[in-house]
Structure 1
Amino acid sequence: MATLILVRHGRSTANTAGVLAGWTPGVSLDERGTAQAAGLPERLAAVRIAAAVTSPLERCLQTMRPLLDARPELELRTDERIGECHYGDWSGRKLAELADEPLMEVVQRHPSAAAFPGGESMRAMQARAVDAVRDWNERIDAAHGEDAVYVMCSHGDIIKSLVADALGMHLDLFQRIHVDPCSVTVIRYTRTRPFLLRLGDTGDFGSLAPRESGGAGAAEAGAAGTGVVGAAVVGGGAGAS
């Protein structure tokens, strides 16, 4: 079956503002995110790409634009099933403001039980994304053969949930997975099982360096909206500064 390259969109204005964007309109790539997207064609230069699929949200469309400019033969398809989680009433709110919401602890520790007010459950988010990938795998196989590789640009929580599915992990464990903006995750699907080949690969190891107190690390923990060091950033976070 097909090999799937999952690209998280580049860093967005909502990421740097610590806002949970969801489907809020007007969220675009910031300057760093634009630069990240510009580097994507070179990072994937050695890969023969059969097809390109994206979330319909602007930050994903912008991330894919340089790759499409470099490969005019590719037709970009959109699929709402790989769009961001519908965070409902949480959309557009500062992550730090959500720290006292009882639901945040559920999102962190028991996400399979989490449903956003006015939005969707995290179970539904994962189910639609997995359905989309299974559907596209069949389409790519039929059109290009079982050795084909295709690209899908999506969002942090969507990609994490797809990785959890590929690894046979319960959704309650998916907050242990992290993918930075414009990172590349690769899953090879076969008839009997998927294989995770890359996870959150940006080629940048600077984020592994020790972080000073009060610096980027502290800001990222605060952006998680939990006040707990080591908590997962809902929506995926802004990555290394």
Structure 2
Amino acid sequence: MATVLLVRHGRTTANVEGVLAGRAAGVRLDATGRAQAAATAHRLAAVPLVAVVTSPLERCRQTARAVVERQATGPAAPELVVERGITECDYGDWQGRPLRDLAKEPLWAVVQGQPSAAVFPGGESLAAMQARSVEAVRRHDAELESRHGKGAVWAAVAHGDIIKAVVADALGMHLDLFQRIAVGPASVSVVRYGPHRPEVVATNTEAGDLSWLRDAALAGDAPVGGGAGSATTH
């Protein structure tokens, strides 16, 4: 199927302050975050994207706009779509609180060791977060493939826990293991939903040429022995 580039938003003021921003309004990229978003947009400029799908929260919209602005203009420009299914987890009563204080809560240990059982007071569960985000990504992937073909590449701009949950699903990992996945600000992870299974091509990349994605082989049967890989040096 099509290739999805999972892009985390750049660094925010809340990240620097150690505050769980959640869905709070007005959380924007700081100067470093804007530079990170610009650098990621530059990396993605080598790949013609058919669409950029973003969380509705401002930090993701800022990052998504940076990506779109570096793409082709005119008829070839990617469409920009807002998708609530990949918005940040609803952390409920935890939203807006310092992480150092949250780390003292009994629920913190559950979030770290058994995320599938974690339900945020006044908010949603991590299991519900994963279900809606995976559904949204797979739905857009199938729809964009049907419109643009199996070689289509698109970007989903979202949040750390959202991307970790989507990657965990693609890897066939239980949600309880998703904290083993790292997703840094403005990083790019690459997933293909093939006919037999999802294929996780890359995770948490923060640098490097992505032009090889233009000509990369589509997901299909796994090459026994590892295969020859891309002909492009990267």
Shorter-chain TM-score category? 0.7 to 0.9
CA positional deviation for 1:64: 1.4
Q: Aligned residue for 2:125?
A: 121
**CA deviation digits over 1:129-150, x for unaligned, max 9?**
0100111011111110111110
CA RMSD of aligned residues (A): 1.0
Whole-angstrom distance in 2 between the partners of 1:146 and 1:74: 16
Q: Aligned residue for 1:14?
A: 14
Q: Aligned residue for 1:182?
A: 186
**CA deviation digits over 1:215-240, x for unaligned, max 9?**
xxxxxxxxxxxxxxxxxxxxxxxxxx
Q: Which deviates more, 38-47 or 17-26?
A: 38-47
Q: For structure 2, list consecutive stretches of 5 or more residues without a partner in the other structure.
A: 209-234
Asked if 1 retains the 8 angstrom alpha-carbon contact of 2:50 and 2:79, the reply is: no
Q: Secondary structure at the match of 1:39?
A: helix
Letter of the aligned partner of 2:16 in structure 1?
Answer: T
Q: Aligned residue for 1:101?
A: 105
> Aligned to 1:145, which of 137, 143, 149?
149
Q: Which deviates more, 62-71 or 155-164?
A: 62-71
Identity of aligned residues (%): 57
**CA deviation digits over 1:10-65, x for unaligned, max 9?**
00111001000110111000110001111122211221211110000000011112
Asked if 1 retains the 8 angstrom alpha-carbon contact of 2:45 and 2:70, the reply is: no
CA positional deviation for 1:69: 1.6
**CA deviation digits over 1:46-105, x for unaligned, max 9?**
212111100000000111122222223222100011000000000000000112110000
Q: Superposition pairs for residues 60-209 of structure 1, below 5 Å?
A: 60-71=60-71, 72=73, 73-203=77-207
- State the TM-score, normalizing by the size of structure 2: 0.85
Q: Secondary structure at the match of 2:103?
A: helix
Whole-angstrom distance in 2 between the partners of 1:172 and 1:69: 37
Runs of 4+ in 1 over 2 A off after TM superposition: none
Whole-angstrom distance in 1 between the partners of 2:180 and 2:14: 22
Whole-angstrom distance in 2 between the partners of 1:41 and 1:113: 36
Q: Aligned residue for 1:224?
A: none
- State the TM-score, normalizing by the size of structure 1: 0.83
Asked if 1 retains the 8 angstrom alpha-carbon contact of 2:14 and 2:20, the reply is: yes
Whole-angstrom distance in 2 between the partners of 1:99 and 1:48: 42
Letter of the aligned partner of 1:102 in structure 2?
Answer: P
Q: Secondary structure at the match of 2:59?
A: helix
Q: Aligned residue for 2:34?
A: 34
Q: Secondary structure at the match of 1:36?
A: helix
Q: Which deviates more, 116-125 or 34-43?
A: 34-43
Q: For structure 1, list consecutive stretches of 5 or more residues without a partner in the other structure.
A: 205-241
Q: Aligned residue for 2:57?
A: 57
Whole-angstrom distance in 2 between the partners of 1:87 and 1:187: 26
CA positional deviation for 1:191: 1.3
Whole-angstrom distance in 2 between the partners of 1:198 and 1:53: 19
Whole-angstrom distance in 1 between the partners of 2:111 and 2:155: 28
